[in-house]
Amino acid sequence: MIEFRGKISEDCWRYLEKIGIRVVRIAGLLPAIVLLTIGIVAIIMWSWFFVVIALASIVFFIVAIFPKKCNVVDAPTRVTIKKNIIERDGVGAKNYASRELDAVKKVIDFGDWYYISFYFPRKDMSFVCQKDLIVEGTIEEFEQLFASRLVRAKNK
């Protein structure tokens, strides 16, 4: 068993926040594109009344492009790897997730922590393991477990 437990660092937190903002942008752009397409087609085919749909899509677009902040409520306080399962726990009743190790796409080594990326549809942006928070097992065991999927970060 390998276990990381404790509060993640500020650098790690900022990285999770950056990923969260990216997710918010994508989630906002998709409905904006759909609404804008429907609005333009409706304006051309039927009536200028559908300008409201196009304006609504512009609001989605602005919110998606310029999110002020993304609260990362899923920051883990504990990540445990046992047998074929990886679990994360955090503050709050709904902040638990588990995945099979087969779902791990890659493990990115940022020097002080690891970010674990999963295959779609099992994505979860909150699986981070900070090296100095290891309380059970060793970093060598962790790296050996994910040896074929371990990738060093390009820009830290």
Per-residue pLDDT tens over the stretch 116-147: 999 988 787 788 888 999 999 999 999 999 99
The fraction of the chain above a pLDDT of 70, given in percent, is: 82
Co-location of 20 and 86 in the same domain: no
DSSP state of 123: -
Co-location of 98 and 145 in the same domain: yes
Co-location of 104 and 79 in the same domain: yes
Cβ neighbours of residue 18 under 8 Å, at least 6 residues apart? none
Co-location of 49 and 79 in the same domain: no
As a residue count, the chain comes to 156
pLDDT of residue 91 exceeding 90: no
Co-location of 121 and 49 in the same domain: no
30-69 tens-digit pLDDT: 777 777 777 777 777 776 666 676 677 777 677 666 665 6
Co-location of 84 and 143 in the same domain: yes
- As for how many domains the chain has, the answer is 2
Co-location of 78 and 17 in the same domain: no
Higher pLDDT, 38 or 112: 112
Q: How many CB atoms lie within 10 A of CB 106?
A: 15
Q: What is the pTM of this model?
A: 0.72
Co-location of 22 and 61 in the same domain: yes
- Domain range for residue 141? 2-8+72-152
Q: What is the mean pLDDT of the chain?
A: 81
Q: Give the containing element (helix H, strand E) for 116.
A: strand 113-118
Among 65, 92, 108, the domain-final residue is: 65
Co-location of 60 and 97 in the same domain: no
The fraction of the chain above a pLDDT of 90, given in percent, is: 28
The region of weakest confidence among 7-11, 63-67, 76-80, 130-134 is 63-67
